[in-house]
Structure 1
Amino acid sequence: MPTRRRIPPAVTTAAAGLVALWLWAEAVDRRASERWLGSGARGTADASSSARRSHAVVVLGYGNTGESANLVNRFRVRTGIRSLDPTADNLLVLCGGPVHSSTSEAVIMQRYARERLGYAGPTALDTTSRSTRENIAHAIPLIEGADTIAIVSNAPHAEMGREILWHERPDLAVRLVRGAEHRLGEAPVLKILGALRATYARRTALWRRSARGITQAVRPPRP
């Protein structure tokens, strides 16, 4: 009778640790997707109007070398498209300048959305920003007319984007609705890396410095 090979304890421990890390990252990701949201309505007068509602989705950029969208930006564009509202007039706002390439992240993401995902809807591009704060600042003029707004990325990064908008334009931030960036079991590596980075940023005050708005006349209450 063949002898059953035993799994070394170190392997079992490592596997259990990876599962625990993944579950923790899932929890961090889900909580981040629920923070710093608004009422989701532009106002009672507009909500009662017979005019069709407008919805803007802001996709935050990520450093992209070369001319093809990298893994992170492909994920963000897919998330942005599935965050569109089928009952509204949508605008997909793609953000990011030429940080690591001669072509802006916004243009690379737009190309991916149209050529690879078949997206044919309206887009607006921010092709000059070089940070998350600039992503939001440059997107503001493009989304001011929207009744509802979603900011998407990986969930902790999207949370930072929403917090920045609360600092910058609380009148727009009250229109924030949840994006579709969090799905259980999706992109586990990106979730783990995003959760680790967000945790490090919070513990070192990097998050607070990054989320500071260009102006700070209004400090919104934390939801």
Structure 2
Amino acid sequence: MRRRTGLAVAGAAALVWGEWLNRRWSRALVGDAEGGDAEGGDAEGAGVSSAVVVLGYRNSRATVNVVNRWRVRAGIRSVTTPDGGHGTRVIFSGGTTGDGPTEARLMADHARSALGFDGPVLLEDRSTTTWENITNVIPLIEDVDRIKIVSQPAHALKARAYLRRQRPDLAARLVRADDYRPGEWIVLKPLLALYGLWTLRALRPGERKPGA
């Protein structure tokens, strides 16, 4: 009985830890450019231009994988304009990792066909690393007021850190995307947190803090 109780407590602690760490990462290196955030009705569409950058994930097959389907969904829900997204450009970023279509094309097609998104879409289809994702989307986001980067929280934080290193002027326009929600992927969040700690090991201490 004690063993079961101990396992239950340890499991609950792991879930809370994973939830907390993913939430923390989702709030690092973002600001409140032009007011509003990803959790409430903001002023996008009222003279404020915005871009949502959705990063692809290892899609070597001809059909969109489950991770990219989720990222597309998180990207579309990060579009908060009253006109259904027509005031925000959505940029799908990712090249090819196999013989099929690029990740960017697969994600864009999924957004259109499965989610019914009909707002402005741009494709960045050359990147094969996160650093290249950021390098190659910079020309597509230079003229916007607000930038949201969508992925799993640790990966999105890594991308924001790379934008900060490459173009600190654009990084000042970063705001939160809607790629973290309490309870979503909760069973996997401890594993995502462990993987995130590994993938973020090269970041500087100031790049990991919320509101940094």
TM-score bucket of the superposed structures, by smaller chain: 0.7 to 0.9
**What is the aligned-residue RMSD (CA, Å)?**
2.5
Counterpart amino acid of residue 30 in structure 1: R
One of 15, 25, 30 as aligned partner of 2:23: 30
Correspondence for 1:63: 58
**Equivalent residue of 1:188, what SS?**
coil
- Determine whether 1:20 maps to 2:18: no
- Letter of the aligned partner of 2:137 in structure 1? A
**Residue 143 of structure 1: CA displacement?**
0.7
**AA paired with 2:155?**
H
1:94-145 Cα distance to aligned partner (Å, 9 max, x none)? 0111114521111111111111111111111111100111111111111111
Q: Do the aligned residues in 2 keep the contact of 1:64 with 1:101 (CA within 8 Å)?
A: no
Aligned to 2:146: 148
8 Å contact kept, 2:127–2:133: yes
- Give the direction of change, closer, same or farther, for the CA distance of 1:101–1:30 in structure 2 (3 Å limit): farther
Q: Partners in 1 of 2:125 and 2:95 — Cα distance?
A: 4
Which runs of structure 2 are paired with 1:45-60 in the superposition (5 Å)? 52-60=47-55
**1:40 correspondence with 2:38:** no
Question: How far, CA to CA, are the matches of 2:7 and 2:66 in structure 1?
Answer: 26
Structure 1 residues 31 and 41, CA, compared in 2 at 3 Å: closer, same or farther? same
Alignment pair present for 1:81 and 2:84: no
Residue 108 (structure 2) aligns with? 110
What TM-score do the two structures reach when normalised by structure 2? Answer: 0.84
Could you tell me which residue of structure 1 aligns to residue 42 of structure 2? none
Q: Which residue does 2:186 correspond to in 1? A: 188
Seen in structure 2, the aligned counterparts of structure 1 residues 158 and 190 have a Cα distance that, compared at 3 Å, is farther
Equivalent residue number for residue 160 of structure 1:
158
CA distance in 1, matches of 2:77, 2:46: 23
Contact 1:96–1:130 (CA<8 Å) still a contact in 2? yes
Q: Deviations over 1:60-94 (max 9, x none)?
A: 11001322221111111111111113157100000
Q: Which consecutive unaligned segments of at least 5 residues does structure 1 have?
A: 1-7, 43-49, 212-218
Q: How far did residue 22 of structure 1 move?
A: 1.2
What is the letter of the counterpart of residue 123 of structure 1?
V
Task: Flag the structure with larger Rg.
Answer: 1
Q: Which TM-score applies when normalising by structure 1?
A: 0.80
Q: Aligned residue for 1:139?
A: 137
Q: Relative to 1, partners in 2 of residues 1:104 and 1:11: Cα closer, same or farther, differing over 3 Å? A: farther
Q: Which amino acid aligns with 2:195?
A: R
Greater RCO (CA < 8 Å, at least 6 residues apart) = 2
